[in-house]
Amino acid sequence: MKFINLTIRAKITMLAVIAVLFLVVVGLVANQTIGTLSKVSRDATEKTSVSLELLALAAQTRGNFRSQVQEWKDILLRGNDAELYAKYFEAFEKRYADVQKGLSDILKVATAAGQTELITAKEIEELRRAHENMHAQYLAALKNYNPAHATAGQEVDRLVRGLDRPLHEGINALAAKIADAAHKESAAVKVQVESESDAALHVTIAALLVALALLAALAVLITRGIIRNLNSLQQTIADINHGNFDVRARTDGKDELAVLAKAFNELLDNRVATTARIQKENEQLNESILNLLRAVAVLSRKDLTVKVPVSEDVTGAVSDALNLLSGETAKVLQDVSNISADVTSASLKVQQQSDSMLLAAEDDRAEVDRAAQVLSSAAQALDQIAELARLCNTEADAAIKTTQVALASVNNTVSGINSTRDVIRETEKRIKRLGERSQEISGVVSLINVIAERTHILALNASMHAASAGEAGRGFAVVADEVQRLAENARQATQQISALVNNIQIETADTVSTMNDAITQIVEGSRLAEQAGQQMHLTQQTTADLVASVKQIAASSEVQAKAGQELLERAETLKKSSRQATDRLQEQSSHSNSLVEYAKQLLATVRVFKLPA
């Protein structure tokens, strides 16, 4: 329907134009009826004016006739004066002419107005003739008037008395007839005017009512069209307010409301699409946060192999930070684990070296014991030399052999002590390298501590930003708190590792100190053994000189006895030093066992974390 497709502006303009047209039509109808009424009124006025003119002429004629009769009486009463007589007579004649003229005028007006039925020419002619006869009779009677007689007027009047009465009656009857006709005409005109006026009023009201009805129908039609679209738009908004985003406003027609409904539908589509997009982004963000929480939960179980999925939203930076933290921590812990394995291996080697050193020391001690026993025997033999000087020759060979054996034992002892010293020095170097490795672990632990400290600051800033973000940052605050706890755990782990490394360094320093003491003791033992060797060599030379200087044996037997006693004391000292060296080596072995145990504990502590392959 074309009318529906019109815009509201066009509809209202059309309604206004139609209203104006209706007003014009009603005006034309009213004008027409008013024109008709005016014409009727004009005709009635014309008729009334003719009647009034006839009435005026009748009244004027009747007055003239009465004046003529009065002039007649003046002539008769005052006609004895010639001047008055002439005056009154002239007036009498003039009144006569006026009456005649009035009658003629009445006939002319009636004839001109077409009222020949009301006033006939015959009737007027009869009145004129009667008036002429009366005038003639008056003039004839006036001939008998003698101004000299006082009663002349009465006599003349007696002659014409009663002549004017029929004419009076005729003129009065004419006037009454004209008046009656005028009244009737006036009543008829009044009725006609009222009828025409009522008809005009009815036609105007009818036209006005029809125009109002048509305008009302058109207005209702336009209003219904507007209200229907408005109700549709209002119902759509109400449905949207109740959460139904699938409804759309009607877009029938091409008016402004249809355009508005289309724009509203487009706006609603955009809003629905935007809401869906925001909801999708929120779901993605929630999914990212859940992935972060799952990854943090796995990390909190010390499993560093997990990789936090990196998303494109705001949690991507946190995921990268977590991956970087877990990766760097895993690398560092892997290095710590490797170093711990090296420490364990080195500790086991140290322990093996200590065991071998302990066995060597046991052998050395046995050799020293044997040397001491031999020296004791030599001392006893030297003691017996003094007593058995005579038997020196026979037993000199035995003494030389015994001294040679003792010298060989001392030389072996010196060689074993030197070997033990070399082994201890090698062990000292390894333990120092172990201490250096421990310092490297300390550096790595410091790096882990710095990373944990920065992570702690990062998590604290994230928590404060999340707190300032209000309700929107609640989920992010949970992630930041978990990261902060993880950083705290990492820092505590590094502190434990640092404490273990410090213990290792302390034990290593103690071990090095103990080994230095052992080396000192060994050096001292070596020096004593060399002195013993020199003494044994001197004994050998002395024993060798025994054969040549057998006679001098007795003299120098006391010297030899003292030398043997001194040798015995040196041997006892050497035996004591060897025992002390053995004790130190056992203490070193104990420290090596502790070192192995600490290395195993370090390895177990580091391997608590599940590291990537």
Binding site for other proteins (CB under 8 A): 456-457, 460-461, 463-465, 467-470, 474, 477
Q: Which one, 233 or 460, has the nearer CB to other proteins?
A: 460
Q: How far is the CB of 325 from other proteins (least distance, A)?
A: 18
Establish how many alpha carbons lie within 13 A of residue 526's alpha carbon, considering only the half-sphere containing its beta carbon: 15
Residue 329 Cβ vs other proteins, minimum distance, rounded to whole Å: 21
Segment holding 248, helix H or strand E: none
- What is the nearest approach in angstroms of other proteins to the Cβ of residue 485? 12
Question: Any idea what DSSP says for residue 162?
Answer: T
> At its nearest, how many Å lie between other proteins and the CB of residue 471?
8
Nearest to 249 by CA among 234, 221, 8: 234
Closest contact distance (angstroms) between CB of 488 and other proteins is 12
| Helix (H) or strand (E) run with residue 243 in it | none
Q: How far is the CB of 480 from other proteins (least distance, A)?
A: 10
Min dist. Cβ of residue 495 to other proteins (A): 17
Between 394 and 468, CB nearer to other proteins: 468
> Where do we find the tokens 């009486």?
73
Written as one string, the DSSP assignment of 290-355 is HHHHHHHHHHHTTBTT--PPPPSSTHHHHHHHHHHHHHHHHHHHHHHHHHHHHHHHHHHHHHHHHH
Smaller CB separation from other proteins, 129 or 465: 465
Residues 6+ apart with CB under 8 A from 245: 268, 272, 275
Nearest 5°: phi and psi at 80? -70, -20
Nearest-angstrom CA–CA distance, 409 and 70: 216
Closer Cβ to other proteins, 325 or 378, answer by number: 325
CA distance 103 to 61: 7
Decide whether 317 or 359 has the Cβ nearer to other proteins: 317
Tell the smallest beta-carbon distance from residue 464 to other proteins (Å): 5
The nearer residue to other proteins, 127 or 325, going by C-beta atoms, is 325
| One-letter identity of residue 180 | D
Residues 6 or more apart in contact with residue 574 via CB below 8 angstroms: 368, 371, 372, 413, 525, 528, 529, 532
Return the residue matching tokens 């009424």: 37
* Rounded Cα distance, 165 and 158, in Å: 14
Q: Indicate the residue among 243 and 470 with the shorter CB distance to other proteins.
A: 470
DSSP state of 161: T
Would you say 49 or 461 has its CB closer to other proteins?
461
| CA atoms within 13 Å, Cβ hemisphere of 527 | 5
Least distance between other proteins and beta carbon 327 (Å): 23
C-beta of 61 vs 484, nearer to other proteins: 484
| Nearest to other proteins of 124, 318 (CB atom) | 318
- The CA-atom distances, in angstroms, between 253 and each of 11, 223, 227, 263, 519 are 12, 14, 13, 14, 112
Q: Residues near 517 by Cβ (< 8 Å), separated by ≥ 6? A: 584
CB of 455 to other proteins, least distance (A): 13
